[in-house]
């Protein structure tokens, strides 16, 4: 018989979100009358912009005509869309040949690991989006789980907490490490300043590291002083890959469309081009993003589409403000709860002193019928935190806030 990929046997817990879904299902089965509201998984809820949907619909109908039909396109993506992304987001910082269209940022993050193989050293912000670590475990780079349950032996965890303004101590990172960095951050919402990113880029260049910069939430940045791309930082073109996605700002979580930027100046230790190998990955292991989705992407980046995306993001940001306000209420303040919400990302990251994450998750599910995400699922430093997602219909957010405002917890601080 064939041996199991040891990467899979090394994976400790199930993926976070299936476990949340399991607990929700179990609770719903036992309490059929509970009307459960999810502020858990970061899934978008608001309908697509009509303008963008119509563009996809027109394209799809065109496919049923002789003139409008197309089969495989370029594996790197539709040239017009690559050029549009370059001009909207990367003017003077990256050109179309460095932009690769994909079926989403998560898929790119998984594929990027094939560039570096199973021996690369890995560092992640702690807490972090689970795919960086879990993908590295499957690829073999993360090694085995540590006996004390605090992560994997081959991963350097960089704690990001209120104490360090959610920006990690970089000196913990060894030379030649692949550094995953997400800003605005999922789950903390922290958004790195120009100075912080400059420090990160300088560190990477000096120490032969490559940064995988996940900017899936950059459309949520409302503070004009904060950088929206790592390539706004001088020196980033020799040390960074950026991934981004239409999922959150355009509601494309189901449509599927994202992109990566791999600069021509980025090199491996032997001097060869990372961009060339990435082109190879995209042409051999991927066969191009859906042409219908790409038609939607083009519409999302014209004047009307950009306005519609901004309105959608504003809606979610207002939800975030409502959640934050609720968690600043007297019932929470009294027991030392602190909500962190930057207004530049869709998540409210909340510390419940004295409580374990899964414990508070279960209490909120039981008492408020609200599903959240336990912070410990994002890494050891997430323990005792809960992530509230602002993706939801306004009426659901308001109802969830009403229930949370009535929650009385014992003080453990």
Residue among 282 and 368 whose Cβ is closer to ligand PLP: 282
Shortest distance, position 216 Cβ to ligand PLP, whole Å: 4
Q: Which residue has the tokens 């690369």?
A: 120
Residue among 184 and 305 whose Cβ is closer to ligand PLP: 184
Residue among 127 and 369 whose Cβ is closer to ligand PLP: 127
Q: From the centroid of its chain, how far is CA 295?
A: 23
Instruction: Please give the full DSSP string across 298-356, using - where no structure is assigned.
Output: HHHTSHHHHHHHHHHHHHHHHHHHHHHHHHTSHHHHTTT-EEE--SSSSEEEEE-TT--
Q: From the centroid of its chain, how far is CA 263?
A: 21
Smallest Cα–Cα separation from 37: which of 406, 391, 408?
Answer: 391
Half-sphere exposure of 219 (CA within 13 A, CB side): 24
Shortest distance, position 112 Cβ to ligand PLP, whole Å: 12
| φ, ψ at 374 (rounded to 5°) | -70, 130
Residue among 135 and 369 whose Cβ is closer to ligand PLP: 135
Alpha helical stretches, state H, 63-177: 79-89, 105-116, 131-139
Residue among 258 and 297 whose Cβ is closer to ligand PLP: 258
Residues facing residue 241 across a β-bridge: 212
Shortest distance, position 206 Cβ to ligand PLP, whole Å: 26
Residue among 177 and 389 whose Cβ is closer to ligand PLP: 389
Residue among 309 and 368 whose Cβ is closer to ligand PLP: 309
How many helices (DSSP H) and strands (DSSP E) are in the chain? Answer: 14, 13
What is the binding site for ligand PLP (CB under 6 A)?
A: 42, 104-107, 129, 182, 186, 214, 216, 245, 247-248, 253, 258
Residue among 40 and 42 whose Cβ is closer to ligand PLP: 42
Residues facing residue 180 across a β-bridge: 124, 212
At 259, is the secondary structure helix, strand, or coil?
A: strand
* DSSP one-letter code for 231: G
Shortest distance, position 170 Cβ to ligand PLP, whole Å: 20
Shortest distance, position 247 Cβ to ligand PLP, whole Å: 3
Residue among 368 and 381 whose Cβ is closer to ligand PLP: 381
Residue among 124 and 182 whose Cβ is closer to ligand PLP: 182
Residue nearest to ligand PLP (CB): 104
Shortest distance, position 350 Cβ to ligand PLP, whole Å: 17
Shortest distance, position 89 Cβ to ligand PLP, whole Å: 15
Shortest distance, position 258 Cβ to ligand PLP, whole Å: 4
> Angle at the Cα of 198 (from 378 to 313), degrees rounded to 5?
55
Residues facing residue 157 across a β-bridge: 124
Shortest distance, position 50 Cβ to ligand PLP, whole Å: 22
Instruction: Please give the full DSSP string across 6-36, using - where no structure is assigned.
Output: HHHHH--SPPHHHHHHHHHHHHHHH-TT---
Smallest Cα–Cα separation from 327: which of 241, 397, 260, 236?
Answer: 397
For 90, the token pair is 């990367």
Shortest distance, position 331 Cβ to ligand PLP, whole Å: 29
Burial class (CB in 10 A: 0-12, 13-18, 19+), 196: buried
| φ, ψ at 189 (rounded to 5°) | 80, -10
């Amino acid at each position: 018989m064939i041996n199991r990929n040891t990467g899979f046997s090394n994976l400790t817990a199930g993926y976070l979100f299936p476990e949340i879904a399991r607990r929700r299902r179990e609770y719903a089965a036992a309490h059929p009358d509970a009307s459960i509201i999810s502020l858990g998984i970061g899934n978008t809820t608001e309908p697509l912009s009509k303008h963008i949907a119509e563009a996809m619909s027109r394209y799809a109908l065109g496919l049923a005509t002789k003139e409008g039909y197309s089969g495989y396109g370029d594996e790197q993506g539709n040239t017009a869309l690559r050029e549009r992304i370059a001009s909207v987001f990367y003017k003077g910082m990256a050109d179309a040949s460095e932009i690769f269209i994909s079926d989403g940022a998560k898929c790119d993050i998984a594929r990027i690991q094939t560039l570096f193989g199973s021996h690369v050293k890995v560092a992640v912000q702690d807490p972090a989006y689970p795919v960086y670590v879990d993908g590295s475990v499957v690829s073999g780079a993360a090694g085995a789980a540590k006996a004390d349950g605090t992560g994997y032996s081959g991963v350097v965890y960089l704690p990001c907490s209120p104490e360090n303004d959610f920006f990690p101590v970089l000196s913990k990172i060894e030379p030649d490490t692949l550094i995953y960095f997400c800003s605005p951050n999922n789950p903390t919402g922290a958004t790195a300043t120009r100075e912080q990113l400059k420090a990160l880029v300088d560190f990477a260049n000096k120490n032969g590291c490559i940064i995988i910069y996940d900017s899936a939430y950059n459309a949520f940045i409302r503070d004009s002083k904060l950088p929206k791309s790592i390539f706004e930082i001088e020196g980033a073109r020799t040390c960074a890959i950026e991934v981004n996605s239409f999922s959150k700002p355009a509601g494309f979580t189901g449509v599927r469309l994202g992109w990566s930027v791999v600069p021509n100046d980025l090199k491996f230790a032997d001097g060869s081009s990372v961009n060339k190998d990435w082109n190879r990955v995209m042409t051999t292991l991927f066969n191009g993003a859906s042409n219908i989705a790409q038609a939607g992407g083009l519409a999302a980046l014209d004047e009307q589409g950009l306005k519609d995306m901004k309105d959608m993001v504003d809606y979610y940001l207002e939800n975030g403000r409502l959640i934050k306000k609720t968690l600043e209420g007297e019932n929470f303040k009294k027991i030392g709860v602190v909500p962190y919400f930057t207004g530049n990302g869709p998540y409210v990251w909340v510390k419940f002193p004295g409580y374990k994450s899964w414990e508070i998750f279960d209490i909120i599910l039981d008492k408020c019928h609200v599903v959240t995400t336990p912070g410990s699922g994002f890494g050891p430093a997430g323990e005792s935190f809960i992530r509230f997602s602002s993706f939801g219909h306004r009426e659901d957010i308001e109802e969830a806030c009403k229930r949370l405002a009535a929650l009385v917890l014992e003080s453990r601080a």
